[in-house]
């Protein structure tokens, strides 16, 4: 019963801010105002609704003067809010093109400047990634989950190449992040929420200039090892 109440307030709070935050852009003259709201008001209240005691390590590793790609393990629906609260810069997320037509969510993502990828075929996917790389190069820091989906076991899965191709194309560093605890609080395919501690550990940037398309597997392996080590530290 308590979990159902928490879920109700999570949905209401999320959709309320998605509807309202973009409306303040003309008043603030700041396209990134919804992202600021996500980092502050949205995430802090959500932590209280869920009952998360959040701790963050490694904020000093986040570059303030250049865009990067943050790569994190993906454990729960709660990862987004925890990252928004922990990472001290405005975050953009990458979603499939179809999300733009989703009521409220699509409106919010479009207005807030999040990035959409067209995966309908290989050519369009490549074109979308090139456009995304340009947006990142021009200043948008993004979050990507290289596993591609939420873990079903709580363990770190295999990494896919997309985030690393994007880092090479944009010429930006990758910042590894390990999230611990969100899987226990709200596991995949479960409606049960159990309040508890969550930690976000941010690692040092990994410079994409040290890799090429030919050595992308080394790039992936080094990034995965960095995420694993953050989880063990």
Alpha-carbon distance of 232 to 132, in angstroms, equals 32
Q: What is the CATH number of the domain that holds 6?
A: 3.40.1130
Alpha-carbon distance of 81 to 91, in angstroms, equals 11
Q: Which residues contact 102 (CB under 8 A, 6 or more apart)?
A: none
Top pLDDT among 11 and 95 is at: 11
Q: Quote the number of domains for the chain.
A: 1
Interval 114-155: pLDDT, tens: 988 887 777 877 788 888 999 999 999 999 999 988 988 889
Looking at residue 88, its pLDDT comes to 96
Looking at residue 129, its pLDDT comes to 83
Interval 40-80: pLDDT, tens: 999 999 999 999 999 999 999 999 889 999 999 999 999 99
Looking at residue 200, its pLDDT comes to 98
Give the mean pLDDT of 206-226.
Answer: 97
Give the mean pLDDT of 177-189.
Answer: 94
Looking at residue 85, its pLDDT comes to 97
Contact between residue 176 and residue 206 where contact means Cβ atoms under 8 Å apart: yes
Mean pLDDT of the chain: 93
pLDDT range class, residue 157, cuts 50, 70, 90:
very high
Looking at residue 127, its pLDDT comes to 85
Alpha-carbon distance of 126 to 166, in angstroms, equals 10
pLDDT range class, residue 169, cuts 50, 70, 90:
very high
pTM: 0.94
Looking at residue 223, its pLDDT comes to 98
């Amino acid at each position: 019963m308590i979990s159902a109440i928490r879920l109700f307030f999570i949905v209401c709070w999320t959709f309320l801010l998605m509807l309202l935050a973009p409306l303040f852009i003309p008043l603030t003259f700041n396209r990134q105002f919804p992202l600021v709201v996500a980092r502050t008001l949205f995430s802090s209240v959500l932590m209280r609704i869920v009952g998360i005691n959040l701790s963050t390590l490694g904020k000093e590793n986040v570059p303030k003067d250049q865009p990067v790609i943050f790569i994190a393990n993906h454990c729960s629906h709660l990862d987004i809010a925890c990252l928004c609260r922990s990472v001290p810069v405005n975050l953009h997320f990458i979603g499939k093109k179809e999300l733009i037509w989703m009521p409220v969510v699509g409106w919010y993502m479009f207005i807030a400047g999040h990035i959409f990828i067209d995966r309908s075929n290989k050519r369009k996917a490549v074109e979308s990634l090139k456009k995304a790389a340009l947006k990142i190069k021009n200043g948008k820091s993004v979050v990507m989950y290289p596993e591609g989906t939420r873990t079903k076991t709580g363990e770190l899965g295999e990494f896919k190449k997309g985030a690393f191709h994007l880092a090479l194309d944009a010429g930006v560093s990758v910042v590894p992040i390990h999230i611990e605890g969100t899987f226990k609080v709200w596991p995949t395919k479960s409606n049960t929420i159990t309040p508890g501690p969550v930690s976000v550990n941010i690692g040092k940037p990994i410079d994409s200039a040290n890799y090429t398309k030919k050595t992308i597997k080394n790039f992936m392996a080094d990034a995965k090892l960095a995420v694993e080590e953050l989880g063990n530290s």
